């Protein structure tokens, strides 16, 4: 009896141990082989949620209201300009990002981005075209300031033209080379920049950069809080950004 019970208990213990071991192996494999899956839920929200669409429309409606106000207050003003980012601000690259996840490619590696710049077919962020057409119809200069590669300038310009965006020319598309702050300063030499629109904080000011900690970014937000919704318009982007390197804060633990 004792021997039988011992054998049965040992068998159950061994089975449980093997199951736990197999589960651990699978977990390790999942972590090693497909770390990109960590972004799956946030990307699903970016691509599939109606809430993102509402936030995008809201951002561009605020931008339109702000521009209407500026034009009404300064009817004689000349050389007004808008500076706007491209990816996840005007261009929706979520199909590309989803494809990367399905193939277990981590976005931080950007191994497939060059091909997407050359041959990709992004969609427009909702509300962007209506707003930009409104600005163009009121003789406001539009400058597309993006960190897309200068090497693929022709492809990027053709993509923007294909999507029907206004004022697309080499002079109005400023790609990666100089910092975004330097490019903004270049535009400001001949134009009065009245709106900045983007999905990451460094689209607005040199106060922000990708190397800052969470607390540093938050401090700069507080410093510039009066500008959001005024001359700075932020688009939501849960697909990628400096925030993705920050650890979660567990219940009962202080934030970093």
Predicted TM-score of the model (pTM):
0.83
Q: Where are the domains of the chain?
A: 37-234
Query: How open is the CA angle 215-209-201, to the nearest 5 degrees?
Result: 80
In 10 A of CB 9, how many CB atoms? 10
Digitized pLDDT (tens) for each residue of the chain, 256 residues in all: 434 433 333 333 333 433 333 333 334 444 445 776 777 888 999 999 999 999 999 999 999 999 999 999 999 999 999 999 999 999 999 999 998 888 888 766 767 899 999 999 999 999 999 999 999 999 999 999 999 999 999 999 999 999 999 999 999 999 999 999 999 999 999 999 999 999 998 999 887 777 777 888 888 889 989 999 999 999 999 988 777 777 777 887 766 6
Q: For residues 243 and 202, is the Cβ–Cβ distance under 8 A?
A: no
**Hunting for tokens 């567990």 — which residue is that?**
250
CATH topology of domain 37-234: Rossmann fold (3.40.50)
Which residues, 6+ apart, have CB-to-CB distance to 189 below 8 Å?
Answer: none
- The two tokens of residue 201 are 């904080």
- Quote the CA–CA distance of 102 and 113 in Å, as a whole number: 15
The structure tokens listed for 210 are 């990708």
Residue 43 host element (H or E): helix 40-48
């Amino acid at each position: 009896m004792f021997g039988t019970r011992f054998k049965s208990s040992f068998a159950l213990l061994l089975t449980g141990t093997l199951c736990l071991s197999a589960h651990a192996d699978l977990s390790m494999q999942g972590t090693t082989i497909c770390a990109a899956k960590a972004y799956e839920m946030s990307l699903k929200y970016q691509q599939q949620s109606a809430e993102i669409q509402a936030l995008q429309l809201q951002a561009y409606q605020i931008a339109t209201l702000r521009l209407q106000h500026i034009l009404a207050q300064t009817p004689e003003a000349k050389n007004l300009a808008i500076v706007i980012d491209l990816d996840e601000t005007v261009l929706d690259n979520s199909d590309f990002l989803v494809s990367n996840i399905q193939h277990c490619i981590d976005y931080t590696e950007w191994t497939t981005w060059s091909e997407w710049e050359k041959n990709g077919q992004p969609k427009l962020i909702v509300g962007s075209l209506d707003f930009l057409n409104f600005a163009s119809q009121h003789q406001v200069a539009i400058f597309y300031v993006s960190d897309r590669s200068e090497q693929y300038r022709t492809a990027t310009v053709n993509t923007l033209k294909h999507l029907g965006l206004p004022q697309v020319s080499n002079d109005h598309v400023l790609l990666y080379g100089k910092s975004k702050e330097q490019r903004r300063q270049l535009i400001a030499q001949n134009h009065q920049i009245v709106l900045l629109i983007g999905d990451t904080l460094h689209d607005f000011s040199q106060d922000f950069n990708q190397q800052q900690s969470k607390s540093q970014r938050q401090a700069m937000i507080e410093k510039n809080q009066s500008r959001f919704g005024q001359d700075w318009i932020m688009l939501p982007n849960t697909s990628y950004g400096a925030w993705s390197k920050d650890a979660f804060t567990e219940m009962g633990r202080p934030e970093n």
